[in-house]
Each structure stands twice: as structure tokens, then as C-alpha cells.
């Protein structure tokens, strides 16, 4: 099988396969856009409680399976990582786009995060670039 199954993905990240992990990961795999906690909750059909979903999302972030995207209203969005991320090491060097019209958050994988020139003594750890505007569906 060439396609990485949800089970394989979990095992590769040293996670045991549980119902909630499987289901939530499937939701992310079906979806190209970023999802908020509430989107995940809706798509699981209220099968899991908020705490379970929250913990599962946190675990996925820690393990390098999904990454977070900050939004203007402080609602964190989550999106699936590409293969090179691992536990504690995210390498998602792409920018994010939030459409003002349809509110969809996109991972623009082809657009590399630009370098920033910081003053001497400042060391960047994470550069999150979020661009807002109108997407190609609108």
C-alpha cells in the first residue's frame, strides 16, 4: 500500500491507535484546509467530548502530526503536517492564508516563509506568517 493509512501514521509517531485518534486524524486527512477545534467537534458527530478532542489535538501537535495556525481572534486552527515533522520539531515553513470572505484557512505549502532580519541578539524560534485576503474560491 502506497498511501499512508491513519493507523500507520499513528504508529510511525509512536502513538497507540485509539478510536478518537483514528477518527480525528481521518478528518484531517480528508480535509485540505485548516480546522478549528469546533470544526473537529462537529465532524466527529459529537462522538467524543471536548476534552478528548482537545487532548488528541495537543498530542498530534506535540508529535509533529498537525501544526497550529494563529488567527486574529485567537482561535487556534490546526492543519496536517507534511512528512518531515517529528515530535517536538516542526518544519512547516509555509505561510498561511485566511480568506476574509469564506473564513477558510489554507496552508500555502508552496509559499516558503520569508526570512526576517532581526536586530543583533534576537534569535528567532518560530516565524508564523498569516496573510489575509480573498481566496481563489471566492
Q: Which residues of the shown chain bind Zn ion in the complex (CB under 5 A)? A: 67, 79, 81, 85, 90, 92, 99, 101-102, 107, 135, 137-138
CA atoms within 13 A on the CB side of 107: 20
CA distance 31 to 109: 14
CB closer to Zn ion, 57 vs 107: 107
* Lookup: cell for 128: 508564523
The CB-of-85 to Zn ion minimum distance in angstroms stands at: 3
The CB-of-97 to Zn ion minimum distance in angstroms stands at: 9
CB closer to Zn ion, 76 vs 138: 138
CB closer to Zn ion, 13 vs 67: 67
Residue with cell 532581526: 118
CA distance 10 to 65: 9
Amino acid at each position: 500500500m502506497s498511501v499512508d493509512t491513519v493507523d500507520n501514521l499513528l504508529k510511525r509517531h509512536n502513538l497507540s491507535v485509539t478510536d478518537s485518534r483514528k477518527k480525528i486524524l481521518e478528518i484531517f486527512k480528508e480535509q485540505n484546509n485548516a480546522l478549528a477545534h469546533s470544526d473537529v467537534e462537529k465532524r466527529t458527530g459529537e462522538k467524543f467530548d471536548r476534552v478528548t478532542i482537545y487532548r488528541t489535538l495537543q498530542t498530534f501537535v506535540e508529535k509533529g502530526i498537525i501544526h497550529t495556525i494563529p488567527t486574529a481572534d485567537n482561535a487556534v486552527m490546526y492543519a496536517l503536517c507534511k512528512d518531515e515533522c517529528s515530535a517536538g520539531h516542526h518544519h512547516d515553513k509555509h505561510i498561511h492564508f485566511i480568506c476574509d470572505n469564506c473564513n477558510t484557512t489554507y496552508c500555502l505549502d508552496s509559499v516558503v516563509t520569508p526570512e526576517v532580519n532581526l536586530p543583533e541578539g534576537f534569535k528567532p524560534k518560530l516565524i508564523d506568517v498569516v496573510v489575509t485576503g480573498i481566496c481563489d474560491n471566492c
